């Protein structure tokens, strides 16, 4: 279902929802979370997943949709937020049954149920490498402000200007020097032998 | 372009084609450069993983506590601050037109620092507490905010929370208790450094110690990479002379 207007795709995920997801304000996230929760759990019943499992799957689907929002992928999808969220969920339910080898009926049935929800593909997180696990331990020793700053730069891909604006820094020079200090601190932690 | 800049741009996927060629060349020929790139790429994965985990724990909290964390934007405190300033201003005009007392200067210049801590990265614990604390702070419920900040500080001495606690103490007329907090953390260099000096100067003013207030304002003016409150600091210094 694509909509084109003189060759320009009309994006169906509301930009304000993308903002809510990337901003992670607890109140807004909570509102969004409960907006679709009941319908999602109901949706899961058809596929034979119990409520506890469905709550877990709902949360995991929410994490994936947020990740896609951060990566800018949500801006390019041609379905609504709800359809996209449910599409991720549907794929997760399928994976869940597959892992547990519930092959008898559900495995095949899941694709047959005519619910108009297209499964959405997503990358499964790789098992973290040893380097990653080690670095995570050191990273957790950094102050919160440094963790925040490095996350904005490395994961979120925000520019120095955007970080200054978002985190209330006075100017970009402060952000640059703070970022260097944080990296230096991290390297010092790495190079300090455990007591 | 320095190797560091190349790596930063690589991490943010913003290398130009020419820079990409240079980047690839270094990656092949310079082992130290490669090590550095590996480090930054791993760090990128670590921050991603951490961000996801924090978001997951936020969702778990939301699942356990279905009542949305209420956050009413309130302008009450601005009204309060404005009326105090008007009243003190009038008092000043009626009583002492020539030299405003330190108390009056404090009231003229003090306003609690805005909440800039909207957390992007969430800690696994304490998040509800933090949201509640800053909700109270933003809604000018300073006694409640103080109580919640103290609860948070019982676990960890977060300089940012300490900074906001000192603001609450100033608001609650306990400047003498804000001073040790603000002086203690002046050694910490972060984006709050200059703000600490500003509020420390106001705290000295409030406790009738204009000499120390002046010294602190001068320290604030000496911070080279910030313009924070410099205009007000100069103004205030003149008034204190």
Mean pLDDT of B221-233: 84
Q: Which helix (H) or strand (E) holds A175?
A: helix A172-191
| Contacts of range A159-163, beta carbons closer than 8 Å, 24 or more positions apart | A159/B12
Residue A4, classed as helix, strand or coil, is strand
| Residue A79 to residue B94: CA distance in whole angstroms | 67
Positive or negative torsion for Cα A170, A174, A175, A178:
negative
Average model confidence (pLDDT) across chain B: 82
pLDDT tens figures, B41-81: 999 999 999 999 889 989 988 888 776 544 445 556 666 77
In chain B, what percentage of residues exceed pLDDT 90? 30
Give B-chain residues touching A132 at CB under 8 angstroms.
42, 45-46, 49
What is the spatial distance between Cα A129 and Cα A87, in angstroms, rounded to a whole number? 29
pLDDT at residue B192 is higher than 90: no
Task: Examine the pLDDT at B120 and tell me if it is beyond 60.
Answer: no
What letters, b where the CB count within 10 A reaches 16 and e where it falls short, cover B193-231? bbbbbbbbbbbbbbbebbebbbebbebbbebeebebbee
Average pLDDT (A55-71) is: 92
Which ipTM did the prediction report?
0.85
Q: Give the pLDDT confidence score for residue A6 in this predicted structure.
A: 37
* Distance to chain A for B191, nearest Cα, Å: 6
Return the percentage of chain A with pLDDT > 90, whole number.
34
Residue A5 forms beta bridges with which residues?
Answer: A8
Q: Is the pLDDT of residue A178 over 90?
A: yes
Cβ neighbour number for residue B60 with a 10 Å cutoff? 14
pLDDT at A4 over 60: no
Instruction: Give the nearest partner residue to A132 out of B42, B121, B158, using CB atoms.
Output: B42
pLDDT for B220 equals 87
Tell me which chain B residues have a C-beta less than 8 angstroms from the C-beta of A189. none
**CA end-to-end span of chain B:** 49
Phi then psi dihedrals of residue B196, to 5 deg: -60, -45
Q: What are phi and psi of A5, to 5 degrees?
A: -130, 110
Question: Which member of A62, A155, A177 has the closest CB to residue B44?
Answer: A155
Lowest mean pLDDT among A37-46, A128-137, B57-66, B96-105: B96-105
């Amino acid at each position: 279902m694509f909509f084109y207007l003189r060759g320009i795709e009309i994006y169906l995920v509301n930009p304000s929802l993308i903002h809510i997801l990337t901003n992670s304000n607890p109140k807004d996230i909570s509102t969004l979370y409960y907006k679709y929760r009941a319908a999602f759990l109901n949706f899961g019943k058809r596929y034979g997943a119990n409520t506890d499992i469905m709550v877990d799957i709902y949360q995991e689907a929410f994490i994936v949709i947020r990740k896609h929002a951060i990566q800018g992928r949500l801006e390019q999808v041609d379905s609504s937020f709800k359809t996209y969220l449910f599409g991720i969920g549907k794929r997760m339910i399928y994976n869940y049954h597959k892992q547990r080898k519930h092959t008898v009926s559900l495995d095949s049935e899941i694709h047959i149920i005519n619910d108009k929800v297209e499964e959405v593909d997503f990358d499964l997180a790789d098992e973290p490498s040893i380097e990653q696990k080690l670095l995570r331990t050191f990273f957790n020793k950094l102050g919160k402000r440094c963790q925040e700053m490095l996350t904005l730069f490395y994961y979120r891909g925000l520019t120095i200007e955007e970080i200054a604006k978002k985190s209330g820094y006075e100017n970009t020079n402060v952000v640059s020097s703070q970022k260097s200090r944080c990296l230096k601190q991290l390297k010092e932690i790495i190079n300090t032998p455990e007591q | 372009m320095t190797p560091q800049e190349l790596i930063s741009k690589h991490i943010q996927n913003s290398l130009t084609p020419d820079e990409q060629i240079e980047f690839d060349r270094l990656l092949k020929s310079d082992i130290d450069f490669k090590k550095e790139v590996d480090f930054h790429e791993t760090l990128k994965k670590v921050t991603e993983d951490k961000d996801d985990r924090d978001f997951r724990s936020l969702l778990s909290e939301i699942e356990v506590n279905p009542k949305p964390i209420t956050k009413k934007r309130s302008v009450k405190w601005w009204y309060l601050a404005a009326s105090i300033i008007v009243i003190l201003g009038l008092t000043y005009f009626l009583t002492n037109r020539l030299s405003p007392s330190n108390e009056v200067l404090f009231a003229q210049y003090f306003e609690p620092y805005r909440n800039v801590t909207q957390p992007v990265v969430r800690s696994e614990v304490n998040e509800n507490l933090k949201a509640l604390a800053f909700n109270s702070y933003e809604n000018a419920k300073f006694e409640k905010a103080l109580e919640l900040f103290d609860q948070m500080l019982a676990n960890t001495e977060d300089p940012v929370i300490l900074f906001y606690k000192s603001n609450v103490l100033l608001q609650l007329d306990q400047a003498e208790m804000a001073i040790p907090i603000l002086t203690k953390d002046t050694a910490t260099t972060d984006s709050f450094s200059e703000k600490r000096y500003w509020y420390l100067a106001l705290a000295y003013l409030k406790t009738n110690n204009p000499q120390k207030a002046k010294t602190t304002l001068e320290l604030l003016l000496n911070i080279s990479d910030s313009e924070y409150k410099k205009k007000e600091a100069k103004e205030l210094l003149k008034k204190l002379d």
